[in-house]
Structure 1
Amino acid sequence: TIEYGNNTYGIKVAAQTYFNKLPSELNHKESAILVGLINKPTRYNPIRNPEFAMEKRTEILYNLLKYGKIDQEAYDSLKVSDFGLQYKVQDQNEGLATYFRTVMRNFLMGWAKTNDYDLFADGLKIYTTIDSRMQLYAEQAMAEEMDTLQSVFIDHLQGDAPWIDEDGNEILDFVDKAIKRTPNYRSLAKKYGEDSDSLNYWLNYPRDMTVFSWGGEIDTTFSLIDSLKYYKHFLQAGFMAMDPQTGHIKAWVGGINHKYFKFDHVKQSKRQPGSTFKPFVYTAAIDLGYSPCYTAVDAPVTWMMDDPEKPTWTPQNANGKFTGQTMTIRQAMAASVNSVTARIMQKITPRAAVDMAHTCGIESDLPAVPALCLGIGEVSLYELVGAYSTFANQGVWTQPFFITRIEDKNGVVIQDFIPKRREALSEKTAYLMIHMLKGAMEERNGSAHALDYRLKQNNEIGSKTGTTQNASDGWYMGVTHDLVAGAWVGGDDRSIHFKHWALGQGGKTARPIWENFMLKVYDDPRTGVEKGYFKKPSTPLGVELDCDLYEGGTTEADSLNIDLGFDDLDL
């Protein structure tokens, strides 16, 4: 609760702010500065008033001599020494978990107001779920992979603008529309008027500024228009990891650099999930009795629509081709075959898929329409990680959360935070979906087949990639027995993306972040995350998991016969 100036409260923060040390590491001259600040934080501030601070420090050092804490020789040396400052304001743009701290701060501001506390002066102790090691590894993985990906992105543009339409053509009015959404534009428009020459003049007036780059900050001269164009070339990303059993969020990286890009891509941002939504379609089917061995044909599936201009809709596969091959739904989900997902969606109905997604933890509104099978609608990374955790937690959804308790200055617990829990799926359905997700690594054409072998050894991994139209969004969700994590990569505007879908797919953009993170986590035993195997249901499955297409696998025709009573001729 004690103020040390410069909006610094508490000895630990003061030691870090002025000397970049822990309190236990402070020496006599440093401690004397902080003792003086307690008396008058402004007058004896070594940054604002160094002369008064020196006088006060000398007085305190003399008292140490007077009471025998130091000898004359030490006093004579210390009183003429410099301050030894390593001053650095502890703000939200520096240090570990910058995006998370902003999210937590906003939550706590509301909590403090509701519970009548002063968040900054009451000496509250807030205990979070974030693991500092995993947070560091997440930030390192993000930086390492996004630095590389950004170079690939810029190189492939070959000087062209990244804001392009569905036909690959530059959107000519993109910059004009984007600048109007900025605070600088609104301020200038209010001062000069939207149609004034002065507004246009100041938008294009060059000025000195410092800008972000992956190689470090750059001092340059940009106009506001130049600056906007520069920053719109950057790909953004989000990453979150949580313990599926407890709901504890272990790592939260909301973007590539909090100082220059404040928008949080974990919870604040909502984007189309693409194929990462498919597991909820298949979960609904399995919950209705379908087996992972159920087979379907990779062939066109047509929906009758109510739109007179477009009376039918036939979803295409990512490569625009249909193989005509018969495959299990596990193989189809592993290879992300759209036609098979659409076929299953027809059988269970879009409403069933929406209900299942909500049951598993997706809270965003979702349209109960055929195209949902390809992941339209918008969800947050926070929701997806929480929903996938339901599979790893034997069907129990646990709300992701990041604060465990708050204590007052005396250590008395003011509030314990207990996450919401509910039984969303049966153990059997949850385990079958884990088996389905493992197919991405185990099936021949699985989207995670190329994962680093070091992750696969003595370890079970379930995963799903996702890529939206034009590769505006790339996703990767990874599930292990004790950690579920997800990554998203894309432009802040959906029109900013790779020209070629293959370059921007989730397996190329988001998966490397997850892979890099997990390798670091497994290499550090202090994280407590270990390789292992998913827990099996307490009762027998009664479902065959080792599918054989030619001998015994349930076929599409067989299932229709069983479920609907149709004979083969009706098919």
Structure 2
Amino acid sequence: MAKAVKKKTTNNFSKFILWFWILFASGIALVALIFLSASWGLFGELPPYEYLENPQTNLASQIISSDGKLLGKFYLDDNRTDVKFEELPDNLVNALIATEDARFKDHSGIDARGTVRAFAYLGSKGGASTISQQLARQLFVGVRSRSKFDAIKQKIKEWVLAIRLERSYTKEEIISMYFNIYDFGNNADGIRSAARIYFGKEPKDLKIEESAMLVGMFKNSSLFNPLRREEMVKTRRDVVLAQMAKYDYITEAEKDSLQAMKMGINYNPETHSVGLATYFRMYLQRFMKDWIDKNPKPAIGDESDRYNLYLDGLKIYTTIDSKMQANAEEAVNEHMTKLQAEFFHQNTPDRNKTAPFLDITPEETKSIMERAMKNSDRWKIMKSEGKSEKEIRESFDKKTEMTVFDWESPTKEKDTILTPRDSIRYYKAFLRTAMMSMEPQTGHVKAWVGGINYKHFQYDNVIQGARQAGSTFKPFVYAAAIDQLRLSPCETRPDTQYCIEAGKHGNMEPWCPRNSNLKYSGNSYSLKKALANSVNTVTAQLIDEVGPKSVVSMVRNLGLTGDILEVPSIALGTLDVNVYEMVGAYGAFANQGVYVKPVMVTRIENKDGTVLYEYVPETKDVLSKDVSYAILDLMKGVTQGGSGTRLRTTGANKWRPEYDEIITGYPYKLTNPIAGKTGTTQNNSDGWFMGMVPNLVTGVWVGGEERSVHFKSITYGQGASMALPIWGLYMTKNYADEELGISKEDFVKPENMSIEIDCEKFQEASDSDTDTDDDLDDLDF
């Protein structure tokens, strides 16, 4: 009987063993079948192996400054720039592994222990998704489905793809891909954008607590948004720090200390309308579009297959210096804030009933407003929607909430309620500006400021805007005269009324220009003193002697384009030019007569570092070294005894009884050699200053969008008041940073100079002009 019981027990155990192996083998077979089915596409199509080996993610194109800084990016939806594993700090990698996948280094894509635990406890003690699985989901699977059946299919696909990723990539590559692919919110796609946007630094510079915050956002970046839910994000950060302590990446003491720290968010948004060099970036966008249109991808050769500026991760190396760009923008902001306040002060309704327009008729005002309305987005959108003109016009008189530009606000914006018509008038009242700075020997543009605020004023006055040059054109007339007639800067001409008869140089009527003060001193001026004080009568004599045709020919060679009439009046700057061309042209004076076309892009690379484009300098010999140096000597007189003299001194405060206010002086005190020229156009509509030191040429323009928006008097309306201060502030900031290497030395004088510039060797026609031209000082028409 005992034997029978023992035999039965043995049989039962054998059956148990048999069934165990049957079930185990069936489980293995089932898992294998599931994986095979998934690989065959029965649970949905899987990406091919080629795609796994080179997953395609949208990469933003980078704009890189000459000093290696990231100026900005071009992107549509994904502001992503990949970083390599070597660029990730250890604390960031450790925080990720401790929080998301503690056994990441030991498994091959699937964490068996974590999976069993997740099934046993139905996920109550944590999920089982490894970093590899999460990467597979983000790259190829997508958002988890709410359907349980579909969710299971997605999980199976993740398993298969995770194993394939582990076979195709190293652990380090998977880590870097994981950080690069994640969307951290607020345009922070990938870890590099996240580090820059939330902390203003590169990933390699992240501190432990900063790394912990970013890793904590992997749970759900839209929920754990540090800009909206800082306390919640801090709590999540502290959980990550606790996990790092649990797995001995930091000590308990370090954990406690770090958890006690505040978040320390340093928000630096990366959008197309904010940040450094916004106007330049928009110019660059147009440049790249033109380049892409002309350069199909070389590997294909098919013109229909072109680079994508927003997806292909191009690297665009520019000539802009990030420090000089920042100095330029700061100089513009500092001066324009004060200048605009003065303009508003002078254009209150009780002082100017047609503000912001000055000295125009109601019909002219109506014409300006009508043109602005029809050019507005509101008009175009409503017209495209089929609205009648009556409906469109009525909409311009309905008050609406809006955010407008405001110099006085820390954010440069304020919320208000205005009618669209009033908002047009409001924006017309703001003075605009343009500034460009270039290295004359190379043509490299170092700074580019196209306006006062790109978000609200998107017209780029550096290259899109063209305004009358005023007296900044006069050096070209003097250069033509010195070149053709071999004149010395010490040659003299009388300041008397001078007329060019009708028909002599193509002018239809006699041309008899007057000086800005409407007077003639009757004295003789050296060319140097005449240019320094912008004596129009002397300039008229010179263009009469050489002829407008020769002047036009020369400025064409110096890069000025557009419609330039060959008439005498161009001598006083009646033609429209832009800052970009003027800086290029002046650059030839500082470069010994050689014109170098301004360049902004030096090289373009694809995401792998292959060079796609390298610039070739465009140069032209226009003037001799002697002539160009003589012009520099002439223009140095502008800052030594003419309208640019205020660069040399702080200036005295002056009382304005009409406004019961004090005009403050100028804080520059520059002592180094400076060649420059101020310029002002009729009615003070445009103020210019062109300033040069041996290795930097800078042009500044200030004026209203409409020529009728201007200062009433010369006190503030001239170039010496509107534009020169920006140059002075900019150069003061540049000189404060010795690493920039901006010249303080004099311009190099050519050997065997054939044009005499030493006026002691010339007999002055009269010494009486020394003290009789006070009424011309600081005037620059």
TM-score by length of 1: 0.85
Contact 2:273–2:454 (Cα < 8 Å) also in 1 = yes
Residue 474 (structure 1) aligned to one of 687, 701, 709: 687
The 10-residue stretch of structure 1 (304-313 or 21-30) with the greater mean CA deviation from structure 2: 304-313
What does the per-residue CA deviation read over 1:125-155, in whole Å, with 9 as the maximum and x for residues that have no partner? 3222222222122111111111111121122
Give secondary structure in 2 for the equivalent of 1:180: helix
Check whether the contact 1:157–1:499 (CA below 8 A) recurs between aligned residues.
no
Does residue 283 (structure 1) correspond to residue 479 (structure 2)? The answer is yes
Aligned residue in 2 for 1:500: 713
Superposed counterparts of 1:386-397, under 5 Å: 386-397=584-595
Residue of structure 2 aligned with 1:231, choices 402, 423, 427: 427
Which of the pair has the greater relative contact order for Cα pairs under 8 Å at 6+ separation? Answer: 1
Q: CA deviation at 1:507?
A: 1.0
Aligned to 1:489: 702
Which of 86, 99, 106 pairs up with 2:286? 106
Q: 1:122 to 1:11 in 2, by over 3 A?
A: farther
Whether the 8 Å CA contact 1:474–1:489 is kept in 2: the answer is: yes
| Aligned twin of 1:292 | 489
* Range with greater deviation from structure 2 (267-276 or 128-137): 128-137
| Counterparts in 2 of 1:158 and 1:59: CA distance versus 1, 3 Å | closer
Query: Which residue number corresponds to residue 6 of structure 2?
Result: none
Distance in 2 separating the partners of 1:34 and 1:112: 36
Aligned match of 1:540 in 733, 753, 768? 753
- Cα pair 2:467 2:578 within 8 Å, conserved: yes
Aligned to 1:556: none
CA separation in 2, counterparts of 1:306 and 1:165? 33
| Matched residue SS, 2:636 | helix
SS at structure 2 position matched to 1:304? coil
1:517 Cα offset (Å): 1.2
Identify the range of structure 1 (5-14 vs 274-283) with the bigger mean alpha-carbon deviation: 5-14
The 2-side partners of 1:548 and 1:322 are apart by: 27
Question: Contact between 1:476 and 1:487, CA under 8 Å: does it hold in 2?
Answer: yes
Q: 2:325 aligns with which of 122, 128, 135?
A: 135
Deviation at residue 36 of structure 1 after TM alignment: 8.5
Q: Where does 1:415-564 land on structure 2 (aligned, <5 Å)? A: 415-443=613-641, 446-453=642-649, 459-546=672-759, 550=763
- 1:96 maps to what in 2? 276
Tell me what 1:179 maps to.
373
Aligned to 1:117: 307
Deviation at 1:9? 5.0
- 1:384 — aligned with what? 582
**Are 1:466 and 1:506, in contact at CA under 8 Å, matched by a contact in 2?**
yes
Structure 1 pair 546–79 and aligned structure 2 pair: CA distance change class (3 A): closer
Q: How many residues align?
A: 550
Is 2:683–2:710's contact at 8 Å kept on the other side of the alignment?
yes
Gaps of 5+ in 1: 554-571
Residues 545 and 501 (structure 1 numbering): CA distance in 2 closer, same or farther, change over 3 Å? Answer: same
**Which stretches in structure 2 are left out of the alignment for 5+ residues?**
1-81, 83-179, 297-305, 651-667, 767-781
Determine whether 1:264 maps to 2:460. Answer: yes
Corresponding position of 1:375: 573
Deviations for 1:278-308, whole angstroms, at most 9, x for unmatched residues? 1111111111122222221112222333699
Query: SS state of the match for residue 422, structure 1?
Result: strand
Task: Report the more deviating stretch, 185-194 or 91-100.
Answer: 185-194
Judging changes above 3 Å, is the alpha-carbon distance between structure 1 residues 71 and 524 closer, same or farther for their aligned structure 2 residues?
Answer: closer
Query: 2:448 is matched with which residue?
Result: 252
Confirm whether residue 302 of structure 1 aligns to residue 302 of structure 2: no
Distance 1:381 1:512, change over 3 A: same
Pick from 392, 408, 411 the counterpart of residue 199 of structure 1. 392
Query: Is the contact made by 1:3 and 1:38 (CA closer than 8 Å) also made in structure 2?
Result: no
Partner of 1:568: none
Amino acid at match of 1:164: L
CA distance in 1, matches of 2:364, 2:309: 48
More moved, 275-284 vs 2-11: 2-11
Distance 1:502 1:44 in 2: 56
Q: Deviation per CA, 1:172-203, whole angstroms, max 9, x where unpaired?
A: 5432332222111222344465541x223211
Q: Which residue of 2 aligns with 1:152?
A: 342
Query: What is the CA distance between 1:253 and its match in structure 2?
Result: 1.1
Query: Normalization by structure 2: what TM-score?
Result: 0.64
User: CA 1:182/1:523 → structure 2, altered by over 3 Å: closer, same or farther?
Assistant: same
Letter in 2 for 1:209: M
TM-aligned CA distance change 1:551 to 1:476, over 3 Å? closer
Q: 1:215 corresponds to which letter in structure 2?
A: E
Q: Which amino acid aligns with 2:340?
A: Q
For the 8 Å contact 2:691–2:697, the answer to whether it is kept is yes
What is the alpha-carbon distance in structure 2 between the residues aligned to residue 127 and residue 10 of structure 1? Answer: 22
Aligned Cα root-mean-square deviation (Å): 3.6
Hey, what does 1:240 align to over in structure 2? 436
- Give me the whole-angstrom Cα distance separating, in 2, the residues matched to 1:78 and 1:228: 51
Q: Retained in 1: the 8 A contact 2:470–2:681?
A: yes
Structure 2 residue identity aligned to 1:533: D
| Superimposed CA distance per residue, residues 428-486 of structure 1 (whole angstroms, 9 cap, x where no aligned partner) | 1111111111111234xx12123234867652111101111111111001111121111
**In the alignment, is the contact (CA less than 8 A) between 1:452 and 1:515 conserved in 2?**
no
Asked if structure 2 preserves the Cα contact closer than 8 Å seen for 1:278 and 1:375, the reply is yes
Among residues 401, 407, 419, which one is paired with 1:214 in the alignment? 407
Correspondence list, 1:24-103, <5 A: 24-27=204-207, 30-31=210-211, 68-70=248-250, 89-103=269-283
Residue 558 of structure 1 is matched in structure 2 by none
Return the letter of the residue paired with 1:508. S
Please point out which of 390, 399, 403 is paired with 2:597: 399
Q: Which residue of 1 aligns with 2:195?
A: 15
Aligned-pair distance for 1:26? Answer: 2.7
Q: Deviations over 1:288-347 (max 9, x none)?
A: 122222221112222333699973222221111222221122211111111111111111
- Counterpart amino acid of residue 460 in structure 1: P
346-355 vs 293-302, greater mean Cα deviation: 293-302
CA distance in 2, matches of 1:32, 1:408: 32
TM-superposed CA distance for 1:533, in Å, is: 0.6
Report the counterpart of residue 164 of structure 1 in structure 2: 358
Paired residue type of 2:521: T
Contact 1:458 1:532 in 2 (8 A): no
| Partner SS for 1:220 | strand
Deviation (angstroms), 1:352:
0.8
Specify whether residues 361 and 459 from structure 1 end up closer, same or farther in structure 2 by C-alpha distance, changes over 3 A only.
same
1:32 deviation in Å? 6.0
Q: CA offsets per residue over residues 516-544 of structure 1, 9 Å max, x none?
A: 11112112212211311100113332424
Which has the higher mean CA deviation after the structures are superposed, 27-36 or 173-182? 27-36
> CA separation in 2, counterparts of 1:188 and 1:450?
51
Taking the aligned partners of 1:72 and 1:112, their CA distance within structure 2 comes to 55
Secondary structure at 1:382 match in 2: helix
CA contact (8 A) 1:192 1:199 kept: no
Shift of 1:368: 1.2
Matching residue's letter, 1:92: H
Cα distance, 1:437–1:551 mapped onto 2, change above 3 Å: closer
Q: Which secondary structure does the structure 2 equivalent of 1:162 belong to?
A: coil
